[in-house]
A and B are shown apart, each in its own frame.
Chain A
């Protein structure tokens, strides 16, 4: 069955731990989002990336801490104690889904990019939700939720996403 075979140099598939890839995605999302006027105090204010849950994701996020997006540095914060008022991006991991309904409701029109990874996060009102397709990461964008939030999402990001709408 193996007729003539030719042997070509091997191709290396890039593989990495899940949380590190998601951290890189978050960094990229920030590049394609415009926050509503008045979100930032001044031109040096950081982009606050808040985590609801401390442990698992924090380590991977440290790699994007301090990176610059459109002149602003990314700062990692915890949403719990400080509340969500100062957040520009709010990441809700799978382990923290118990109060997701209330959280999404309380931030929905305040210019906060809500990102989750649990199945159904976008349908619940989250703006971006990570999905695993096979063993590669993709993402859903709920355009209704995005509109409500006042954020402007670049078409470059939208065209790569799986578009989702609110549950009727």
Chain B
């Protein structure tokens, strides 16, 4: 929650031209007519081993094919993008937020070495609140400020099976707060992570990191894995290009056990514990001198979770899933301390009503209790609160014309302790005129419930301004006051999508949207009044949270996937976004708090993956992000490069260069803490499986 912005106007002259961007995009499409030269395929050695197998053995080989993902994407009437494990590994990213940069429609801005501003389709902010994020079905969305603390979300990247990103409202299925998108991070079944894996490396920004995982069997039909990981990241640069004091380190450990995966019933048990500490430069206010200070402060996060889920197939056409989890987080920050316990239980049943209709319905209950220790700069009243959330949903998929036209109707009812009853419906249509083309359309309504801070918060930002004519310093306090009568934010989204696969190795996915927002929460200014701090008269400017912003946004997202040859693949993503928000009030700060102008208008991502001979893989990732006008962040273009070598089947060496084009660049503006400049870096890594 920002109270007052101070802009850092240090501009870094970017030495690239927009024409480079045009050339890159042109090259991508122009190369469609060039046929590939044959370079020795890296896979020759592996295929040789396959030819030594008998027919029976060959029929037992598990095939890794992209078609499973492709099938899922082609049958979804939503703007979905799936980040595969291969995408994660070959991109060289060391955290989940960084992997999200390859998804069209997503905005990922690194605020400093340990913080990100991540959103979909606008409203980007460190505390962006319109994106729901789940890890294996467990929500990691914090009700404290309605967003995700990305510095506390992590897992062993090698254990991620895929990350499904749906832009647009996923509320009929996932509930409130999935307004602009849902991110589902799905880890691998323990059956697929058997044996040992050790990974370690170090570099200039990734000072040191390591992870160990071991998986084995439990009885005849059970599998488990346990892991531990650690990393230590260097600070980035501040505005003077000195060390910015924003490094962080984290330790995490966990397990997963799966039972009976190939039978009628299966069960999964998983849990993690973690502990981390991250530094930053942060502005704090106090009622006593010096009233306002920029301090180096450490945020300590720790927590754990445990989750159990049970799936049962009653028949070919009827499946049920029950899932329950407990999650505890502790966050110690100089601004506030939050301890939170969450318990959630969810039931889902999918069945075929008749040969043309497939239904899913579900019930859910979540209780979350917190304990906050306030500071003068930020606090909540009451400082401790327990909230209950009840939800029910139903979704019906109807084959209007078998295999050609499919309609989905969905509805979610929720009752929460902030705004009462909420209804989120959606209607979707999927049209597959032939095997190469898919068209989908959707109209949905979604809501975002107010956060703890918006409802119960009290914040003080003291501003010291030098007195006039030597009469001494003047003190003012910008006071933020929460409002517990807030309604939820509303969205009506109109979406259209087109997917085409002109040939087996070329695929395009286009999504268009128009969003109408209403009752967006910002603040409305009250009448200033005089007050007294210990020994000092002060003028207080109150700002009360209110649903006073409305507006619209529209945009386009394009993903393209081209296997140029069997050793070279290109993946392209383009994002276009326009936002227009208005406030009824004549409030000078509504713009910033409504977060328009913190999202780039254009973004481009181009990944090139090459399988060279001799077990070498070379990956390039080119990214362009437009400037963020209102917070004065320059546009930037940068590149990551990864070269890996697998001398044997179970050892891989990789060297990764990140942000190579500029020595450093800003990606975001100030929020509560100072932004720092993302630095160029390189690291080396070795992964060993046994």
Contact = CB atoms under 8 A, between A and B. Distances in A.
B65 A132 contact: yes
Contact of A55 (B36, B50, B51, B53): B36
A156 B505 CA distance: 35
Given A55-B565, A64-B47, A138-B59, A24 B64 contact: no
Contacts of A124: none
A14 B222 contact: no
Given A27-B51, A59-B43, A64-B51, A18 B58 contact: no
Nearest to B62: A15
Nearest to B52: A24
A95 B501 CA distance: 10
A141 B504 CA distance: 24
A135 B222 contact: no
18 contacts: A9-B217, A16-B61, A16-B62, A17-B43, A20-B46, A21-B61, A28-B58, A56-B505, A59-B41, A59-B43, A60-B43, A62-B38, A62-B41, A63-B44, A63-B48, A135-B65, A136-B63, A137-B59
Nearest to A7: B216
A138 B216 CA distance: 29
A7 B218 contact: yes
Interface in B205-239: 215-219, 222
Contacts of B35: 54-55
Interface string B45-76: 01110110111101111111101100000000
A162 B215 CA distance: 36
B503 A95 contact: yes
Interface residues of B, number: 42
Contacts of A55: 35-36, 505, 563, 565-566
Given A21-B58, A56-B505, A5 B222 contact: yes
A103 B61 CA distance: 31
A85 interface: no
Contact of B504 (A11, A56, A62): A56
Contacts of B393: none
Nearest to A137: B63
Contacts of B191: 13
B644 to A, nearest CB: 17
Contacts of B43: 17, 20, 59-60, 63
Given A8-B216, A135-B65, A157-B55, A24 B47 contact: yes
Contact of B218 (A2, A17, A59, A93): A2
Contacts of B50: 16, 20-21, 23-24, 63
A14 B62 contact: yes
Given A10-B216, A56-B566, A135-B62, A20 B47 contact: yes
A153 to B, nearest CB: 13
Interface residues of A, number: 47
Interface of A: 2, 5-21, 23-25, 27-28, 32, 53-60, 62-64, 67, 93-95, 132, 135-138, 156-157, 160
Contact of B61 (A56, A60, A63, A137): A137
Contact of A8 (B36, B192, B195, B217): B217
B217 A7 contact: yes
Given A5-B222, A9-B216, A16-B63, A63 B567 contact: no
B131 to A, nearest CB: 31
Contact of B51 (A9, A19, A59, A67): A67
B142 interface: no
Interface string B181-193: 0000000000110
A18 B566 contact: no
